[in-house]
Amino acid sequence: MAKMINKTLVLTYIYLLIYILLSSGVILYNKWVLSPKYFNFPLPITLTMIHMGFSGFVAFLLIRVFKVVAPVKMTFEIYATCVVPISAFFASSLWFGNTAYLHISVAFIQMLKALMPVATFIMAVVCGTDKPRCDVFSNMLLISVGVVISSYGEIHFNIVGTVYQVTGIFAEALRLVLTQVLLQKKGLTLNPINSLYYIAPCSFVFLALPWYVLEQPSMEITQIQFNFWIFFSNALCALALNFSIFLVIGRTGAVTIRVAGVLKDWILIALSTVIFPESTITGLNITGYAVALCGVVMYNYIKVRDVKASQITAETLPDRINKEWKMEKKSSDKFNPDVGGESPRVGAEITDEEAPLITSRLSHIGRTQLGNHTA
């Protein structure tokens, strides 16, 4: 038993390490590809469309050709009312987020992403899935103050890049809320492959119009270099990140994955200053981010506490009696090898907020930053 626990623990830490490396790698890779100072491919919509096209193609092969995963029953009504609007905001969040790399540093982008709980809470209140609360509002205020301090301390502050990033954060927040409102009400559950199969092509189509208006003319005028292996490896890393997220949320709890996310953010900030020397971090940057992070940690604690409380109150008296009876039956079965007992498994279906449309039957709330790292 001890060896099995140790093996499971080692696998969990390996998956967490893979997730941290892939998540950090995709962000740094995107910055390197888009930055005019490095690979010089300043076309964020085109890069996002490459990611979506590649992910959709791989998902098609896995579902329709190799039949690794069975497709879900998708009606036209569900696709039109759920998948289409969610894909639109998903594409928008990736478009705006990748465009921000052209104007501001990776470190400052990570600091701005601390606003994600604020944006999600605001959109949840607007859509009616959450109610205004004093304890949550105080955390939102603390996060906002921290981000403002961090922005004030940014040496290379750029209003255009900041607006792009904040807009992308709110688009992602709305996508998360819509996923909860639309899909959960329909009772639709998609694994990572199915989610990419339906969402990636739709997101690709949504990006086609802004690409044609904003980037296609510049591609004809300027000489844009295209290296197949660079873009293939970049898209492959983005695809692998989706699957690593699924492995992580299947093996860790809320506290572990949130701590891993915070650790990844600090590592990413430090790495970005080494890889991109033009990224300068000031003491005011760190102070503001630390203040915002305190608000994020407090918010995460409140959400985990609320879920645990709802799980306890949702358990009815007959369920508790049935569970106690089964536990007594199991303990009595120890003395009777001819009778097989099975302990009940209690779980709640929680929507993971890191990857698009991934839901899992876990005692876990997904961390809200990661949807930003999908591409």
Write the DSSP assignment of 278-326 as a string of letters: T----HHHHHHHHHHHHHHHHHHHHHHHHHHHHHHHTS-HHHHHHHHHH
For the ranges 36-40, 56-60, 151-155, 214-218, the maximum mean pLDDT occurs at 56-60
Confirm whether 365 is domain-assigned: no
Confirm whether 307 is domain-assigned: yes
> Using 50, 70 and 90 to split pLDDT, how confident is the model at 255?
low
For 86-106, how does the pLDDT look when each residue is reduced to its tens digit (9 = 90+)?
999 999 999 999 999 999 999
At 168 the pLDDT is: 96
At 231 the pLDDT is: 96
Confirm whether 262 is domain-assigned: yes
Confirm whether 51 is domain-assigned: yes
Confirm whether 342 is domain-assigned: no
Confirm whether 357 is domain-assigned: no
Tokens standing for 263?
Answer: 């650790």
- The structural domain count of the chain equals 1
Q: Provide the mean pLDDT of the chain.
A: 81
Range of the domain at 155: 1-315
Comparing 344 with 255, the larger pLDDT belongs to: 255
Confirm whether 238 is domain-assigned: yes
Exposed / middle / buried, residue 288 (Cβ in 10 Å: 0-12, 13-18, 19+): buried
Cβ 255 vs Cβ 82: under 8 Å: no
Confirm whether 212 is domain-assigned: yes
For 290-306, how does the pLDDT look when each residue is reduced to its tens digit (9 = 90+)?
999 999 888 888 887 88
Q: Kindly report the pTM of this predicted structure.
A: 0.81
